[in-house]
Structure 1
Amino acid sequence: MAELAPVALEDLLERFQKGDVRALARALTLVEAGHPLGQALLKALRGRGRAKVVGVTGSPGAGKSTLTDRLILEARKRGERVGVLAVDPSSPFTGGAILGDRIRMMRHHQDPGVYIRSLASRGALGGLAGATVAALSLLEAFGFERIFVETVGVGQSEVDIARVADTTLLVLTPAAGDAVQAFKAGVMEIADLFAVNKFDLPGGERIIQELKSALELAPPRPGGWRPPIYPTVAATGEGVEALFEGLEAHHQHLLAHGLLEGHRLERARFEVESVIQEWGRRRTQDAKELVAQVAQGLLSPEEAALRLLKAEERPL
């Protein structure tokens, strides 16, 4: 990526602060690429704005993108400016990602009050990349009042989203095994609200009853919050208005019990951990000899990691 002169950086910052969408897109690209100027922009802009951040997760095919599309409509009815980060997993082999979630949100592409950005997880061990949190900070600084972060809902991403979002929405369907898989994966403990989407299919009531039974055994949530369950049919919009009101009720609960600041601190902790993880991934790719010594039993993983840390402190 070409270097930006300081004057160009100041110009980008000025245009960003004036609400230039192209400046936002450029800033997001710099941050996602890990460019030093992207980090400089983040330092200058971080902490501005206070968006309501909603994480949307669930198994592939649950209808998350269509449901998010409907939730965007509800937010726009209330006059909110909406940002969307759609995170797709990167291939561990090619590094590529499909980034196709925008297809189901095309109705908003001409709405200046909606901005949708697709991101790749970039090998973040099946979860969210630190760049996702950085992008979230930029959208907040740009003035979006509600931000949806949609994950593909596999691997670590379901747990990660709870550390990044203020409110976590888990989307299930009446498809066989969905509720059981949710119990086994532990995501019951991180969801603040549940949507049983495609409720017009057989088995919807059974899923709701299973969820209610499981929630009765779940540990109490901060402030005494009890996760509600909403039946929805995203394709037609049925139940979406009630679900949106539930999202708003959870945000008001966080405000009333002083829980938002803790969420912001956890988000920053996650971002720092992600930077360390990415640093380690890059360093081990370059340290083939050191990795070979671990495989041969000549070094323990801890000893190898310490050597990498010491090598970082002084040139090799």
Structure 2
Amino acid sequence: MHTLVERILAGDRRAVARAISYIEDDHPEKKEILQDVFPYTGKAFLVGITGSPGAGKSSFVDKLIGYLRKQSLTVGIIAVDPTSPFTGGAILGDRIRMQDHFLDEGVFIRSMGTRGSLGGLARSTKEAVRILDAYGKDVIIIETVGVGQSELDIMNIADSTAVVLNPGGGDTVQAFKAGIMEIADLFILNKADLPGTEKLFREVEQMLDLVKHNAPWRPPIVKTITLQNKGIAEAWQAFLDHNEYLKESGEWEKRRASHLKEEVAEIVEHEVHRLVVTNLRGEAYKETMEQVARREVNPYEVADRLLRQLVKEK
């Protein structure tokens, strides 16, 4: 077993941080770490939090962490921040908002950049969640960048996903068209003290009537006011109710199995991409790529040649 994994299982916080850094940097030992850690995962409750920018996701997560700690639950947080276009690193706004929890040994917070992932959730995010799971966190919260078609990937990692909305969030109908209905297991109406809250509540109810009226689980709508710490307990109970529904219906096992199958495909895709890029940047294809740049050969011909070569080698 890799020494970092041994330290993670022993509760070494620094080993967790290093392992996640290895994952982000695609360290040569990353695969060994993930293989060794896998048998010790699958116990944590994975909670997804998404919503449009400005909805108050980070404020809600901050209050939820405090509530969970009062319930004697340990918490891991992966805040998926937009990747800086200049440095490639995560913009650490979410960590600043959650700074009150940094000295709490029962809480582990990590910001990670999207790194151009089409789903907004980098593959490394899923792997970091696995490290926190093995570390023994009871609840792992994944907060995503925002909402849109690209955010639907959260369905492939979280057990339960909450969509955070607020009365000033713009055209709700347009937001639902982006696919929110498909990912929401519950809705959080944050900033519920603002005008327009009841109108937003009715709009969400109407959308649920249209889209999920035949579904066995109807996503509840919970009103919260994070500045006043109101509605947090009710929101957590909604998560627990959904988790109970998943397990009683057998859907929990189906979701976990589906997530793992998706991950196999993602790992294969990543490895193939790495092989392709390595070959195209190598000396063997240097002249060929120059020919492509001079338009002497077309990209499709070169791509077919490389694919045939990779298949033959494997």
For Structure 1 versus Structure 2, the TM-score category normalised by the shorter chain is 0.7 to 0.9
Cα distance in 2 between the residues matched to 1:47 and 1:85:
21
Among 27, 32, 35, the residue aligned to 1:40: 32
Residue segments in structure 2 that go unaligned for 5+ positions in a row = none
- Residues 273 and 60 of structure 1: is their aligned pair in 2 closer, same or farther, counting only changes over 3 Å? farther
- Residues 187 and 176 of structure 1: is their aligned pair in 2 closer, same or farther, counting only changes over 3 Å? closer
TM-score (norm 2): 0.87
Alignment pair present for 1:207 and 2:200: yes
- Residues 210 and 273 of structure 1: is their aligned pair in 2 closer, same or farther, counting only changes over 3 Å? same
Identity across matched positions, percent:
45
- Residues 18 and 176 of structure 1: is their aligned pair in 2 closer, same or farther, counting only changes over 3 Å? closer
Alignment-mate amino acid for residue 247 of structure 2: L
- Written as runs of structure 1 = structure 2, the 5 A alignment for 1:165-180 is 165-180=158-173
SS at structure 2 position matched to 1:310? helix
Cα distance in 1 between the residues matched to 2:305 and 2:311:
10
- Residues 79 and 281 of structure 1: is their aligned pair in 2 closer, same or farther, counting only changes over 3 Å? same
Alignment-mate amino acid for residue 126 of structure 2: V
Which string of whole-angstrom CA distances, capped at 9 and with x for unpartnered residues, describes residues 107-150 of structure 1? 11111111001111111125211111111111111111100000
4+ residue runs of structure 1 moved beyond 6 angstroms? 294-298
Which string of whole-angstrom CA distances, capped at 9 and with x for unpartnered residues, describes residues 261-303 of structure 1? 22222322333344455456664684896698599797576x6
Which string of whole-angstrom CA distances, capped at 9 and with x for unpartnered residues, describes residues 160-219 of structure 1? 111110001000110152422321101112100000111111111111100000100114
- Residues 245 and 41 of structure 1: is their aligned pair in 2 closer, same or farther, counting only changes over 3 Å? same
- Residues 127 and 295 of structure 1: is their aligned pair in 2 closer, same or farther, counting only changes over 3 Å? farther
- Residues 107 and 272 of structure 1: is their aligned pair in 2 closer, same or farther, counting only changes over 3 Å? same
The residue number in structure 2 matching 1:53 is 46
- Cα pair 2:120 2:153 within 8 Å, conserved: yes
- Residues 17 and 94 of structure 1: is their aligned pair in 2 closer, same or farther, counting only changes over 3 Å? closer
TM-aligned CA deviation for residue 311 of structure 1: 3.9
The residue number in structure 1 matching 2:210 is 217
Alignment pair present for 1:265 and 2:263: no
- Cα pair 1:125 1:156 within 8 Å, conserved: no
Count residues with an aligned counterpart.
305
Which string of whole-angstrom CA distances, capped at 9 and with x for unpartnered residues, describes residues 77-119 of structure 1? 2111110000013245653431321111111111111100111
- Residues 220 and 314 of structure 1: is their aligned pair in 2 closer, same or farther, counting only changes over 3 Å? same
- Written as runs of structure 1 = structure 2, the 5 A alignment for 1:1-316 is 10-49=2-41, 50-91=43-84, 95-219=88-212, 224-279=216-271, 283=276, 286=281, 305-313=303-311
Cα distance in 2 between the residues matched to 1:139 and 1:214:
35
Cα distance in 2 between the residues matched to 1:137 and 1:296:
45
